[in-house]
Structure 1
Amino acid sequence: MHHFRIKQDRSLGYTGSVDAVHKWGLPGIFKCPACKATWSGGSKVYPSVDLSPVLSLADFEEARAEPIEEYERLCALVRPLLPPGAVLQPGAGLGPLVGNARGRFGSFASPDPWWLLVQREALEKLEAEGLRGLKGCRTELRFRQRNSPEFLELEILPQGRTHPDCLPSHHDPPCSRCLRFGLSLPDDLLLDASTLPNDRDLFRLEDFSGVIVCTERFVDACQRLGLDGVAFLPLPSK
């Protein structure tokens, strides 16, 4: 099966812009005691998660870095509310996307490489095609215009990894405490075929979760239905 990376397509002249953040989020880590790094990823996002049952909601409303013990405490509060297969990361976004949007959009929008928004009608068409692993979550986007689109955010779980052949031959393993994987995204991505899911048509990579990947079935359905707003870049696998 062939796979493709999904990225924003600006070639059609769409003017849409989104200025938004997720309603809640985990803090980053301040000076990990093992690797000494202060860092936050944030490309793992779970818009279906409702943190309302958590008593200390204020702990999830401000972007900041915390000692790892506090980060781990907050992870423990969030973990029971996550969808199956979710993996937490410092800076992970939770709950609906909240903010402002304006302009002309296609069927899809990807204001950041790790977010994928889809208009409700387009998602319903894809679901009717039998595509697997699609979960649209409500957003709280405010449009200051008439005839504004109804955008849902696709909740995209991490599955699949890059092949070692596209990574530096000598690199440090992930930190044993905070799990930081301190490599930059390779220029020429190569997927590890043995790790790719066979039960879904849309996923993000585990090790480089800013990369959203889809199957050829997803691409074919979008092209046949005339859905636009994103481009599909072939990704080799081994």
Structure 2
Amino acid sequence: MEYFTLEEDRSSVYTGHIEGTHKWGLPGILRCPGCQVGWSGGAKSYPSVDLTPVAALADFEEPRAEPFEEYERLCALVRPLLPPGALVEPGAEFGPLVGKAQGRFGPLVALNPWVLLMQRETLEKLQAEGLRGLKGCRTELRFRQRNSPELLELEILPVGRLHPDCLPTGRRPPCPRCGREGLTLPDDRLLDAATLPAHLDLFRLEDFSTVIVCTRRFVDTCRRLGLDGVAFQPLPVK
């Protein structure tokens, strides 16, 4: 199986621009009692998750850092609402993408390296081709124009990891309390074949959640159907 990263196409003719954030989120942590580090990720997002059943909803509305015990308390409230396979981390986000949008959008839209949107028609075409793991979620984007497209955000689960050969030697294991690995994304990336899912054509890496990965089947289908707006770069596997 061949794999590719999915990234913004900087040569694209599309002018679409979005300013938005997800409706809710976990706080970052001020200081982990295990690794003594304060941090927030934020690349793991689950737009299908509705937090309105949570009584203390206001605790998820303001980005901030909290003591580790408070972060753990809020995680416990969220976990029963997560989809199968979801992983949480400090700064994880939930609910629809809320904000403003304008301009001309392509069939696929890379809002940033870790958020992918599609026009509804695009998603339906890809699902009709049998591509696996494509779950579109509604957004709450306000367009400053008529005839605006319906953009859906893809909920992309974290699965798979980079191979140890492309990571620094002598690195520490993940923190047993908060899960932080503290690694910098390498320029030369190598996927670990033993960790890759056989049932998904689109996923994000578990250890580097900003990296969205797709299969050759996904790339070939997009090209055959003329679905553009993003760039694909091959990723070697070992």
TM-score range, shorter chain: over 0.9
Offset of residue 108 of structure 1: 1.0
- Which residue matches 1:52? 52
Partner amino acid, structure 1, of 2:202:
L
- Which residue matches 1:12? 12
Q: Is the 8 A contact 1:108 1:119 kept in 2?
A: yes
Offset of residue 197 of structure 1: 0.3
Partner amino acid, structure 2, of 1:108:
L
What pairs up with 1:119-134 in 2 under 5 angstroms?
119-134=119-134
- Distance in 2 of aligned mates of 1:169 and 1:188: 15
| Secondary structure of 1:222 counterpart | helix
- Which residue matches 1:153? 153
| Secondary structure of 1:116 counterpart | strand
- Which residue matches 2:94? 94
**C-alpha deviations, 1:72-112, integer Å up to 9, x for none?**
11010000000000000110010000000111111111111
Offset of residue 41 of structure 1: 0.2
Cα RMSD for the two superposed structures: 0.7
- Distance in 1 of aligned mates of 2:12 and 2:95: 31
- Distance in 1 of aligned mates of 2:15 and 2:170: 43
Partner amino acid, structure 2, of 1:197:
P
Partner amino acid, structure 1, of 2:25:
G
Give percent identity, aligned residues only.
73
Q: Structure 1, unaligned stretches of length 5 or more?
A: none
| Secondary structure of 1:152 counterpart | strand
- Distance in 2 of aligned mates of 1:51 and 1:9: 33
Partner amino acid, structure 2, of 1:171:
R
TM-score by length of 2: 0.99
What pairs up with 1:108-147 in 2 under 5 angstroms?
108-147=108-147
- Distance in 1 of aligned mates of 2:195 and 2:177: 24
Size of the aligned set, in residue pairs, is 238
- Distance in 2 of aligned mates of 1:110 and 1:219: 15
**C-alpha deviations, 1:25-71, integer Å up to 9, x for none?**
00001111121211100000000000011010000000000011111
- Distance in 2 of aligned mates of 1:102 and 1:33: 44
- Distance in 1 of aligned mates of 2:78 and 2:8: 30
Offset of residue 169 of structure 1: 1.0
Offset of residue 13 of structure 1: 2.1
What pairs up with 1:16-31 in 2 under 5 angstroms?
16-31=16-31
- Which residue matches 2:167? 167
TM-score by length of 1: 0.99
Q: Is the 8 A contact 1:107 1:227 kept in 2?
A: yes
Offset of residue 10 of structure 1: 2.3
Q: Is the 8 A contact 1:10 1:229 kept in 2?
A: no
- Which residue matches 1:193? 193
Q: Structure 2, unaligned stretches of length 5 or more?
A: none
- Distance in 2 of aligned mates of 1:133 and 1:111: 19
- Distance in 1 of aligned mates of 2:52 and 2:34: 33
- Which residue matches 1:236? 236
- Distance in 2 of aligned mates of 1:76 and 1:48: 18
What pairs up with 1:203-218 in 2 under 5 angstroms?
203-218=203-218
**C-alpha deviations, 1:165-194, integer Å up to 9, x for none?**
000011111112111110100101100001
Structure 1 segments of 4 or more deviating over 2 A?
none
| Secondary structure of 1:189 counterpart | coil
Offset of residue 146 of structure 1: 1.4
